[in-house]
Amino acid sequence: MITKISLKSVASCGTTPAILETNKRVNLMYGLNGTGKTTMSRYLAKRDDAKFSNCSLEGVSDEKILVYDHDFIESNFYETDEINGIFTLSSANKNAEEKIKHATEEIGKIDLRLEDKQNKNGLMVDLKKEEEKLSSLISLSEQKVWEIKDSYYGGDRILEFCLDDYNKKDKSAFFNKFLSVKKPSNKPKRTIEELKEEAQKIQGAGAKIYDDNDIQKILFDFSAAESDPILSEVIIGNENSTVAAFIKQLKNSDWVKLGLQYLPEIKQELGAEQKNTKCPFCQKETITPEFYIQIKNYFDDVYEKKIEKLKELEDQYWSAWSSIPREDIYLDNPFIKNKEKEFKLLYKNLYEKLRKNWSAIKEKREDAPAKIFDLELSSPEVEALNKFFEEIIAEIRVHNKKVRNKNKHKKEITNEFWEIMRWEYDPTIAAFTTQKKSFDEEIKLLKIEIKKLESDKQDQTKIIEDSQKETVNIDGAIININSRLRDLGIDGFEIGKASVDLQKLDSDRKVIGNRKLEFYKLKRDTGANEDQFKTLSEGEKTIISFLYFLELCKGKESESEIAIKKIIVIDDPISSLSHLFIFNVSQLIKHTFFDDSNFQQIFVLTHSLYFFHELIKIGPKEEGDRFKFDGALFRIFKKNGTCIQDMKQDEIQNDYQSYWKMIKDHNEGNASDALLAVSMRNILEFFFGFIEKAKFNEAIIKIDPRKYQAFIRYVNRESHSDFVNISDTKEINTELFKEAFKEVFLKAGYENHFHKMISS
């Protein structure tokens, strides 16, 4: 399995996460005190603690994590003398043991079928892949339909109200709206642009009421004038006139009437001599007074009345025609303007017909009274234009109704908008629906199979629980702990079993049964009843607590517990122990954890290189190489917070070299000032303690006491490696400390050793 631990913003860990990632079963971590080992073990033990909210653990699912650290000792021993009982399986009931073994194997097979973490396959992996495919499909489809917010707003946001319910929601809600809209049977009649025009009419500047009386229909009956009988009448003068035959022979009385107006009026006066008048046509004095009188008498009162009637008809026609509003006035109306092309054609047809007919009436009156005029009626054009106006009036009334009921109409526009959207995006929805159906069916089948396997796993778990009821006890753990105590040469005390009867009460606190709670008790040969555990030395407490932890890992903490998979975390189990016990603890870890494949992963954290190398030496080896450690090695250190990096097997050889490496790390910016000071003091104690303490004192005397006062005071402290005592590290001048440290070696005569260690 691949495990990833990330520590951030807690204790010594800064905002940049310290990350440990491993796929190895056995993992060893080395680091000096104060670098963050305890923070890691505490996080793994108490991941739900609020202070670890920025930390994370990946790759672990239902595995139980058991942590041995200082908190484990405190919670199990320092606060109570009675150690909780560890339940282990007895060998008394072989049949139950076989059932448990078989059920455990079956659970292992089921887990492998569900999810083989090593090979990254199994039903859970398949399900996750299908769910990821479905999630990706949904995400892509959501994004595609989300684009309409820009595509159909077009920057004007006129139809924004159609999306009011989804503007502030996520893409998922928006996409689900698409899925809820039923595709129309036929393509919507209107377009988005037409909906925008509609919306503009009922909101903003266009949202006003229009007066339909402003549309002036054609009310005059032009057809009555156009079919007046006088237009088909031949209007001629008095046929009793002596010149009637002559004019009739000319067949052009209109020509004669026209010429008459060019003659000066001749008045007959008795006894007066009248001269001839020039003819307006030949320009000779051929028109006698008698002839003038005869021609004028031809055009008598009857004739003039008919001409007057034509004049009235002409004036009436012209008045009605000119009363029709101009084309541009009509086009001021936005509803007519929207149909400008259609209106102009209708208006032009009527206008041309009226102009032509009026010209004909005028021509008959002025130039050709005797001519018959059969006018083409304008009623079709009038009817067509009036019908157009009626449609416009109807539109205005509909518009006014919509404005007065704006909210209702906006809902209608919204519904039509979504129908258009559903039609436009049908290929996307159809493709999504088809693919989703396929994914859903596959996911459904996988879940059915997973549910069946989980049910089978519960059945096997029930078999284990039922079988354990007869065999579970703490005796096995007691025997193992006491046996190991004797193997370690500890015979001053042992672990015993104690119990207390507990009453089972109902809701009325009446006793309805009894049960016995079993736990450990520390026993000395003296038989004293005082608090025995608190009489142990620190080393003994470490040993007994660690043995208890081993049994806890192998056994169970309660009768009902079933922990098939376990991850073990051990933080410095050799505190206050001699090298002999360190060797023994290493062997215990090897035989209990390294050699038992039932434990998923093991993490051991330590500040001791001796213990670290001992674990490497006895740890699992790579196939074909009995010296190559088959596990993961890590180094934890501080550089503006805790850092974790992979480490090679031969990178650090002993404690003395590790302190020199800490100084080199500080030079490279990879270690804190506090660790620099601790390392310097430990190097000086290691080196001069081995050579000769007096030489160290002589060298200290020789360096400048004023310049290096802080360094001299610090290295002379009694606590040789107590990280807690370093409370003034903020005041340390690291450059002066490095100078003083080098001066000590130079003054003592070991300059070569200093240069060799600082550069190696």
Q: Rounded to an integer, what distance in angstroms lies between the CA atom of residue 426 and that of residue 181? A: 11
Question: Is residue 159 scored above 80 in pLDDT?
Answer: no
| Amino acid 8: pLDDT | 92
Contact at 8 Å (CB) between 711 and 737? Answer: yes
648-700 pLDDT per residue, tens: 876 666 667 777 877 887 887 766 676 778 788 888 887 887 666 677 888 88
Q: Rounded to an integer, what distance in angstroms lies between the CA atom of residue 135 and that of residue 575? A: 51
Question: Is residue 316 scored above 80 in pLDDT?
Answer: yes
User: Which residues 6+ apart lie within 8 Å of 424 measured at CB?
Assistant: none
**DSSP class of residue 729?**
G
User: Which residues 6+ apart lie within 8 Å of 128 measured at CB?
Assistant: none
Please spell the DSSP secondary structure of 483-532, one letter per residue: HHHHHTT--SEEEEEEEEEEEEE-TT--EEEEEEEEEEEEEETT---S-G
Tokens of 518: 């079993």
Q: What is the mean pLDDT of residues 11-38?
A: 89
Question: Is residue 270 scored above 50 in pLDDT?
Answer: no
Q: Rounded to an integer, what distance in angstroms lies between the CA atom of residue 747 and that of residue 701? A: 9
Q: Give the other-Cβ count within 10 Å of 30's Cβ.
A: 26
Contact at 8 Å (CB) between 331 and 337? Answer: yes
Tokens of 479: 């025997």
Contact at 8 Å (CB) between 364 and 229? Answer: no
| Amino acid 493: pLDDT | 76
Question: Is residue 29 scored above 90 in pLDDT?
Answer: yes
Residue labelled with tokens 């036929």: 186
**Class of the CATH-defined domain 1-63+579-652:** alpha beta
Nearest to 275 by CA among 290, 262, 261: 290
Choice among 70-84, 345-359, 495-509, 584-598 with the minimum mean pLDDT = 495-509
Report which of residues 510 and 131 the model is more confident about. 131
Tokens of 125: 């992996």
Identity of the residue numbered 733: N
Tokens of 715: 């290295």
Question: Is residue 755 scored above 80 in pLDDT?
Answer: yes
608-618 pLDDT per residue, tens: 877 888 888 88
Residue labelled with tokens 């490095």: 738
On average, the pLDDT of the chain sits at: 79
Tokens of 425: 């995006």
* SS3 call for 27: strand
Tokens of 647: 């480490």
Q: Cβ-count burial of 307 within 10 angstroms (0-12 exposed, 13-18 middle, 19+ buried)? A: middle
Contact at 8 Å (CB) between 331 and 340? Answer: yes
Question: Is residue 19 scored above 90 in pLDDT?
Answer: yes
Question: Is residue 374 scored above 60 in pLDDT?
Answer: yes
283-304 pLDDT per residue, tens: 777 666 656 665 665 555 677 7
Question: Is residue 415 scored above 80 in pLDDT?
Answer: yes
437-449 pLDDT per residue, tens: 998 999 999 899 9
State whether the Cα torsion 184-190-191-194 is positive or negative: negative
Tokens of 431: 């493709």
Q: Rounded to an integer, what distance in angstroms lies between the CA atom of residue 361 and that of residue 354? A: 11
Residues of the chain with pLDDT > 90, as a percent, come to: 13
Contact at 8 Å (CB) between 138 and 175? Answer: yes
Question: Is residue 88 scored above 70 in pLDDT?
Answer: no
Tokens of 95: 């049949």
Element (H, E) at 569: strand 566-571
| Amino acid 40: pLDDT | 93
* SS3 call for 758: helix
Tokens of 484: 């190991």
Backbone angles phi, psi at 3, to 5 degrees: -115, 135
| Amino acid 721: pLDDT | 41
Q: Rounded to an integer, what distance in angstroms lies between the CA atom of residue 72 and that of residue 577? A: 18
Q: How far, in whole angstroms, is CA 174 from its chain's centroid?
A: 13
Q: Rounded to an integer, what distance in angstroms lies between the CA atom of residue 589 and that of residue 568? A: 10
| Amino acid 308: pLDDT | 85
Tokens of 436: 């989703």
Nearest to 569 by CA among 21, 40, 66: 66
Q: Give the other-Cβ count within 10 Å of 436's Cβ.
A: 16
| Amino acid 500: pLDDT | 64
**DSSP class of residue 621?**
B
Which residues, in sequence order, are bridge partners of residue 30?
A: 606, 635
Contact at 8 Å (CB) between 303 and 238? Answer: yes
Q: Cβ-count burial of 105 within 10 angstroms (0-12 exposed, 13-18 middle, 19+ buried)? A: exposed
Q: Give the other-Cβ count within 10 Å of 631's Cβ.
A: 20
Which residues, in sequence order, are bridge partners of residue 66?
A: 568
Contact at 8 Å (CB) between 668 and 676? Answer: no
Choice among 44-53, 263-272, 477-486 with the minimum mean pLDDT = 263-272
Crossing angle of helices 734-748 and 673-691, rounded to 10°: 10
Backbone angles phi, psi at 546, to 5 degrees: -70, -40
Identity of the residue numbered 88: T
**Highest mean pLDDT pick, 174-178, 291-295, 343-347, 532-536:** 343-347
Residue labelled with tokens 């192998």: 554
Radius of gyration of the chain (CA): 57
Residues in the chain: 760
Give start-end residues of each CATH 3.40.50 domain in the chain: 1-63+579-652
Q: Give the other-Cβ count within 10 Å of 169's Cβ.
A: 12
Choice among 236-245, 255-264, 625-634 with the minimum mean pLDDT = 236-245
Q: What is the mean pLDDT of residues 121-135?
A: 88
Element (H, E) at 692: none
Tokens of 434: 């088809």
* pTM for this predicted structure: 0.49
Question: Is residue 533 scored above 80 in pLDDT?
Answer: no
Q: Rounded to an integer, what distance in angstroms lies between the CA atom of residue 295 and that of residue 244? A: 8
| Amino acid 472: pLDDT | 62
Q: How confident is the model at residue 68 (pLDDT cuts 50, 70, 90)?
A: very high
Q: 3-state secondary structure string, 346-372? A: HHHHHHHHHHHHHHHHHHHHHCCCCCC
Choice among 22-36, 471-485, 716-730 with the minimum mean pLDDT = 716-730
692-746 pLDDT per residue, tens: 667 788 888 888 888 888 888 888 764 444 333 333 444 578 888 989 999 889 8
39-55 pLDDT per residue, tens: 999 999 999 999 999 99
Distances (CA, A) of 392 to 323, 337, 490: 20, 10, 111
Tokens of 546: 């660690």
Identity of the residue numbered 367: D
Alpha helix stretches (DSSP H) within 117-221: 123-146, 148-151, 171-180, 192-202
Report which of residues 298 and 196 the model is more confident about. 196
Q: Rounded to an integer, what distance in angstroms lies between the CA atom of residue 67 and that of residue 80? A: 19
Tokens of 183: 């595709």
Question: Is residue 138 scored above 70 in pLDDT?
Answer: yes
Q: What is the dihedral of CA 40, 44, 50, 51, to 10 degrees?
A: -10
Report which of residues 253 and 571 the model is more confident about. 571
Q: Give the other-Cβ count within 10 Å of 515's Cβ.
A: 9
User: Which residues 6+ apart lie within 8 Å of 408 measured at CB?
Assistant: none
Q: What is the mean pLDDT of residues 55-64?
A: 88
| Amino acid 176: pLDDT | 84
Q: How far, in whole angstroms, is CA 311 from its chain's centroid?
A: 85
Nearest to 116 by CA among 1, 5, 22, 25: 1
Contact at 8 Å (CB) between 588 and 483? Answer: no
Element (H, E) at 167: none
Tokens of 376: 């083409």
Q: Rounded to an integer, what distance in angstroms lies between the CA atom of residue 75 and that of residue 436? A: 53
| Amino acid 211: pLDDT | 81
Question: Is residue 511 scored above 70 in pLDDT?
Answer: no
User: Which residues 6+ apart lie within 8 Å of 210 measured at CB?
Assistant: 333, 335, 396, 399, 400
User: How open is the CA angle 286-289-290, to the nearest 5 degrees?
Assistant: 100
| Amino acid 184: pLDDT | 87
